[in-house]
Amino acid sequence: MNSSIKTLLKAARIGCILTSLAVCSAATAPEDRVSTNFGILVGFPSQQEAGAGGTLLVPGTVIPLTGAAHENSLHHQIVEKSLSFAQATEKLWRTFRLDPGRQQQQAAYEALAAGKALELPPIREAGVRITATLIRADDKTATYRIVFRQGEKLLADSTVAVARGGRAVVGGMDGTAAPYIFVFVEPDAVGAAKERASRTPEALGITAPVLSRKVAPAYPEDARQDKVTGVVVLQLLIGTDGKVHEVEVLQDPDPRLTKAAVEAVKQWEFEPAHDKDGKPLSVKSSVTINFALK
């Protein structure tokens, strides 16, 4: 692999481009622990002249239909986060002209103490290891050190400050034909970790639905001729039978693309979600589908 992954050193600035929530100043007053979500995305340069259809870009987040009073609030939070993440991801893929059909994703959620280094899930195809260390934090900002290594070789060592409850992106390219690696850094706002822990499906003993039959959306020919692209975000109601019972449009870049996406996902089938006793559940899950022409 080429040594051009050094662009990681300057790519921390992407976070300030993608979202105004990323800040560029250091925090003071240290804090014991900061619960942080890390999302690792790996993309590849496109080898195609034209996209073949819609591609599932971001996996769904699950909302159990428990009837609890906090359901609407949780629904709103997850939808907003899903839309924000989808828009940031789509912008990265468009900016770097990456293949929408080739994307690898990893994630980690950890309560970090200052000075603790967390080994993020490895990028095996690239042979790259990533560690994240919380340097310091206060109730407004958390500052991290993100280190990329290949074997014993140090590839990049970046420091990024992120608003609590916000997001920054650190990443770059490893060679002209090799993977692009992006790390999303999302520290929880003060007090959010406790609230999150009590509301997640995992905390309720709920397993997420698993996609068992997927129909890829066809790229509408008139939209292709007009060179229309975009990201469609949908929310599915997945029943206890594993079938899609309702589809709600959360983001509609073009009616032709959205119609193609909706028609496709209505044919999807899942192994349904289950509660802690193994009983099938109806859940809502958001999906993000990318239509791109190269």
Query: What share of residues in the chain are helix, strand, coil (percent, to 5)?
Result: 20, 45, 35
Residues 88 and 108 in one domain: no
Q: Three-class SS of residue 86?
A: helix
CA distance 7 to 171: 8
Residues 32 and 148 in one domain: yes
Residues 91 and 106 in one domain: no
In 3D space, the residue among 269, 216, 256 whose CA is nearest the CA of residue 101 turns out to be: 216
Residues 122 and 247 in one domain: no
Q: Are 256 and 226 in contact (CB under 8 A)?
A: no
Domain end (from 172, 199, 226): 199
> How distant is the alpha carbon of residue 15 from its chain centre?
14
Domain ranges, residue 60? 47-96+205-294
Q: Are 228 and 177 in contact (CB under 8 A)?
A: no
Domain end (from 179, 199, 219): 199
Digit-by-digit pLDDT tens for the chain (294 residues) are 433 333 333 333 333 223 322 332 333 333 478 989 898 888 877 754 444 455 554 444 455 554 444 455 555 565 666 667 777 777 787 777 777 767 777 788 888 999 989 999 877 666 788 999 999 999 899 999 999 888 888 888 889 999 998 888 888 655 544 578 888 998 988 876 555 554 555 555 678 888 888 888 999 999 989 988 888 888 899 999 999 999 999 888 899 999 999 999 999 999 998 888 889 988 888 888 878 776
Residues 86 and 146 in one domain: no
Q: CA separation (Å) from 153 to 28, 64, 133, 183, 264? A: 31, 44, 18, 19, 45
Domain end (from 160, 182, 199): 199
Residues 24 and 154 in one domain: yes
Residues 74 and 180 in one domain: no
Residues 255 and 114 in one domain: no
Token digits for 267?
């044919």
Number of folded domains in the chain?
2
Residues 225 and 286 in one domain: yes
Residues 285 and 223 in one domain: yes
Residues 280 and 243 in one domain: yes
- CATH number, domain at 264? 3.30.2420.10
Residues 186 and 273 in one domain: no
